[in-house]
Amino acid sequence: MNPSPPKAIDRLNDRLESSGPVILPALLLCDFGHLAREVEALEKAGAAGLHLDIMDGQFVPQLTYGMVVVEAVRRATALPLEVHLMVQEPERSLADYAHAGVDIITVHLESLVEPRRTLKMITSLGPKAHLAVSPRTPVQHAVPFLDCCDGVLVMSVEPGYGGQAFEPESLLKLAELSKLRDGGAGAFRLCIDGGISTHTVGPAAAAGAELIVAGSAVIRASSYAEAIAHLEQLARNAA
Ligand code: DX5
Ligand code: ZN
């Protein structure tokens, strides 16, 4: 009997371990009129996984999409999927996203009443649990929960919109988190989201970022493949 193929998340981890930081394109600015085509194009272009921005019009001003679209993306690709929940009361939809087959669920510390409970709920459902911190949230606020998350997502723009300018203070946060991890605070992946470009990807990787979300830098490029390869190369050279 053939062994079953590795799970999407294991493939992502293998790629990280063997080659260094990876780029996760964010779908936010893609052509939703041709969603399956976009997903296929990103997969062909070498994306290590996809980042899906879920906004509820309350936690952040913009409203994007939810389950129906996530399910459609899941059907269109076997790539690892991360849902970045910028919503109030994320607990209400965790089981649905897990059942839809996403690999990483990222929740915002600012949206959680009992962060430990929510993070454990995610892992008990199957996906990896990542904790996001907005630019104005100090790393210290996340420290009590670092032992129960699989990743920490440093937001390098105010959550809510693609195409904003990178906030350099986020580099200090990555470095602080990396130091905390070295000191035994947890076994989490370091992730960054917002304003990633050919100028900012190197410094982010040098500060420790492993999963690097890139929206406009990929989607607005003339070639997805060239944009992903270039960003990944710059990240790896700097890591
Ligand atoms: C912002 C989102 C990001 C966004 C990134 O709230 O979380 O994922 O899509 O877009 P860029 O890379 O253009 O800042
Ligand atoms: Zn995001």
User: pLDDT tens for residues 164-200?
Assistant: 999 999 999 999 999 999 999 999 999 999 999 999 9
Residues 131-165 as b/e (b if ≥16 CB within 10 A, e otherwise) read bbbbeebebeebeebbebbbbbbbbbbebbbbeee
Indicate whether 6 pLDDT > 90: no
Q: What share of the chain is helix, strand, coil (3-state, %, to 5)?
A: 45, 20, 35
End-to-end Cα distance, the chain: 40
Average pLDDT (16-40) is: 98
Does the annotation mark 31 as catalytic? no
Alpha-carbon span 239 to 233, nearest angstrom: 10
Indicate whether 140 pLDDT > 60: yes
Domain ranges across the chain = 8-238
Alpha-carbon span 51 to 17, nearest angstrom: 20
Ligand 1 binding pocket, CB closer than 6 Å: 26, 28, 51, 53, 84, 157, 159-164, 193-196, 213-217
Average pLDDT (59-64) is: 98
The whole-model pTM stands at 0.97
Alpha-carbon span 119 to 196, nearest angstrom: 26
If we measure between CA atoms, which residue out of 78, 85, 36 comes closest to residue 64? 85
Average pLDDT (212-218) is: 98
User: Where is pLDDT greater, at 76 or 5?
Assistant: 76
Residue 3 C-alpha to ligand 1 middle, in angstroms?
37
pLDDT score recorded for residue 96:
98
Average pLDDT (11-30) is: 97
Indicate whether 29 pLDDT > 60: yes
| Ligand 1 atom at minimum distance from 214 CA | 12
Q: Quickly state the pLDDT bin for 9 (edges 50, 70, 90).
A: very high
Average pLDDT (52-75) is: 98
Indicate whether 2 pLDDT > 90: no
Residue 86 C-alpha to ligand 2 middle, in angstroms?
8
- Please state which CATH class domain 8-238 belongs to: alpha beta
Indicate whether 4 pLDDT > 90: no
Q: Quickly state the pLDDT bin for 11 (edges 50, 70, 90).
A: very high
Amino acid present at 205? A
Q: How far is CA 196 from CA 105, 205, 215, 216, in A?
A: 21, 11, 8, 8
Q: In a mutational test of the pocket of ligand 1, which residue from 27, 38, 164 has the highest number of ligand atoms less than 8 Å from its CB?
A: 164
Query: Burial, 92: exposed, middle or buried (Cβ in 10 Å; 0-12, 13-18, 19+)?
Result: exposed
Q: Assign residue 4 a region: left if phi > 0, alpha if psi is -120 to 50, beta otherwise?
A: beta
Indicate whether 109 pLDDT > 90: yes
Indicate whether 3 pLDDT > 80: no
Alpha-carbon span 192 to 169, nearest angstrom: 12
Strand partners for 66: none
Average pLDDT (226-233) is: 98
User: pLDDT tens for residues 71-90?
Assistant: 999 999 999 999 999 999 99
Contact 84, 132 (CB under 8 A): yes
pLDDT score recorded for residue 1:
57
Residue 158 C-alpha to ligand 2 middle, in angstroms?
10
Give the containing element (helix H, strand E) for 24: strand 22-25
Averaged pLDDT score across all residues of the chain? 97
CA 120, 93, 216, 80 torsion-angle sign:
positive
Does the annotation mark 53 as catalytic? yes
